[in-house]
Structure 1
């Protein structure tokens, strides 16, 4: 699935950054546990920036972290399926 397809699949979230779509695209496509460094290498963004966005997405309960390793939450999977609106997301 392309980034454009992902953007069409989920509602545009006002506080999202373009890298957030790349993060979701990678996690949806690979469904693996991933570190910020590995994720950044695979999506072509700076590791520090990816780490900051991962923290925001974790605060919004779309991702969860266990010792710096990230994965989608059930809410994140529902969001990708188009079943969650911005109003349903916790404020990061």
Structure 2
């Protein structure tokens, strides 16, 4: 069972699950486009707010190569697997 932190929202799990499933790096706009294609109701503004927070807590990493691209970290994968307590 996942150990969510008080600062986390349902959007965070959705973002992390998508990044884990695709095993790829995406820009905020790239995530938005893919979420729209899959009928996942997360807006660009939500991504803009949540990705920096997830990065701050080590669950995603920002790659800066001609813009910001995000990918899930090992800590993010451990959280999804229920092996990391994000509230700690």
Same fold (TM over 0.5): yes
Instruction: Give the corresponding residue for 1:39.
Output: 31
Taking only aligned residues, the RMSD between alpha carbons, in angstroms, comes to: 1.4
Q: CA deviation at 1:48?
A: 2.3
Q: What CA distance in whole angstroms lies between the structure 1 residues aligned with 2:14 and 2:71?
A: 14
Provide the C-alpha distance between the structure 1 equivalents of 2:13 and 2:79, rounded to a whole number of angstroms: 12
Question: Contact conserved, 2:17 with 2:80, CA < 8 A, in 1?
Answer: no
Higher relative contact order (CA 8 A, sep 6+): 2
State the TM-score, normalizing by the size of structure 2. Answer: 0.79
Query: Number of paired residues?
Result: 79
Q: Which runs of 5+ in 2 are unaligned?
A: 36-40
Q: What 5-or-longer segments of structure 1 have no aligned partner?
A: 1-8, 88-92
Q: Under a length normalisation based on structure 1, what TM-score does the superposition of the two structures give?
A: 0.76
Partner of 1:90: none
1:27 is displaced (CA, Å) by 1.0
